[in-house]
Amino acid sequence: MKSREEIFQTVRTALVDLFELDAPNVVPEARFDDDLEIDSIDAVDLIDHLSRIFERRVSPRDFRAVRTVQDLIDTIDRLQTQ
């Protein structure tokens, strides 16, 4: 179990490593499509990467409603308590 702050740090590190984003731009309210320019193919890479880190099998369906970094943190938090 990770705290929400730890989840945020993990997500931020992943976004910086995978997409060469600048860490300060990765804030909870950042939108994946407009602000971070993450498209649907990137989303698959990101989710695969995070599911390896959190050691959890996930379905892309779980992430359908994710629009912002905060949405992703909430979704991961919900999945790890299931």
Which residues of the shown chain bind other proteins in the complex (CB under 8 A)? Answer: 17-20, 39-47, 60
Residue in 40, 50, 36, 37 with CA at minimum distance from that of residue 79: 50
The answer to whether 3 and 73 have CB atoms below 8 angstroms apart is no
Q: Which is nearer to other proteins, 27 or 43 (CB)?
A: 43
Residue closer to other proteins, measured from CB, 47 or 73:
47
Neighbours of 75 (CB within 10 A): 19
- Shortest separation between residue 20's beta carbon and other proteins, angstroms: 6
CB of 50 vs other proteins, minimal distance in Å: 13
